[in-house]
Structure 1
Amino acid sequence: MLLDLITSATIGSLMGLLAHAKRNKTIKKPRNTKRTFDPGFLTDMGYGTVAAVATVIVADPSSMERLILTSLLAGFFADGAMSKLEATNLLDNNKQFKINQEQLNEKLPAPKKSTKSEDKEE
């Protein structure tokens, strides 16, 4: 079983790297600036690795061919699944922000209407 997990992790990380290259049209190296750290391709490799290992644990393929196929598919589609989750969370956050903003605006007092005579006096 350990050999299966190591094999799936290797295949998943390579598929994550390929998915990264496909999405970005190049392989972005990790870089460390003064304020931030950009992991580059390491994030996608990690997603592919975790997805492939989790899929192999859950599916428990019986042969090496099934193990390889399962790892290939899971590693490649991990990026798509993460992008879909990110988009869903972003939409949910935006909806909640709009709801909160409307509730705050309802609690605020209405603005005073100024007349032209008041504007001239000031």
Structure 2
Amino acid sequence: MLVDIIFSLVIGGTVGIIGHVRKHGKIIMPRKTKKFIYLGFLEEMLLGAVAALLLVLYTAPNSNVENIIISIVAGIFGDATLSGLKLLRQKSEEK
């Protein structure tokens, strides 16, 4: 089970980084401004990894192939969640 957990974290984080590069065209490093800490690619990597971990723990896959597929889907879902939150934030600022 520990191998499944580590495997899902790595795959989910990798999918998060790939989604970040697809969205921004490059890897944006974390930086600190006067009022805010911007996590850059770490934000999407962590969200993808945590989403993959939670889904793998919930479903308990029987094989490595199932673990890979579930982790990839969870990483994509984490990226979609960030995109949805950004869209909602933009719509609320327009009003």
Interval of TM-score (by shorter of Structure 1 and Structure 2): 0.7 to 0.9
Shift of 1:89: 6.5
Look up the SS of the partner of 1:29 in the other structure: coil
Structure 1: how far apart are the matches of 2:59 and 2:88? Answer: 26
2:66 — aligned with what? 66
1:115 — aligned with what? none
Normalized against structure 2, the TM-score is what?
A: 0.84
Q: Deviations over 1:77-96 (max 9, x none)?
A: 211123224534665x57xx
Normalized against structure 1, the TM-score is what?
A: 0.67
RMSD over equivalenced CA pairs, Å? 2.0
Greater relative contact order (Cα 8 A, min sep 6): structure 1 or 2? Answer: 2
1:113 — aligned with what? none
1:57 — aligned with what? 57
Structure number with greater Rg is 1
Report matched runs for 1:4-83 at 5 Å.
4-83=4-83
Match for 1:46: what amino acid?
Answer: L
Runs of 4+ in 1 over 3 A off after TM superposition: 85-91
Structure 1: how far apart are the matches of 2:68 and 2:49? Answer: 13
Structure 1: how far apart are the matches of 2:35 and 2:86? Answer: 24
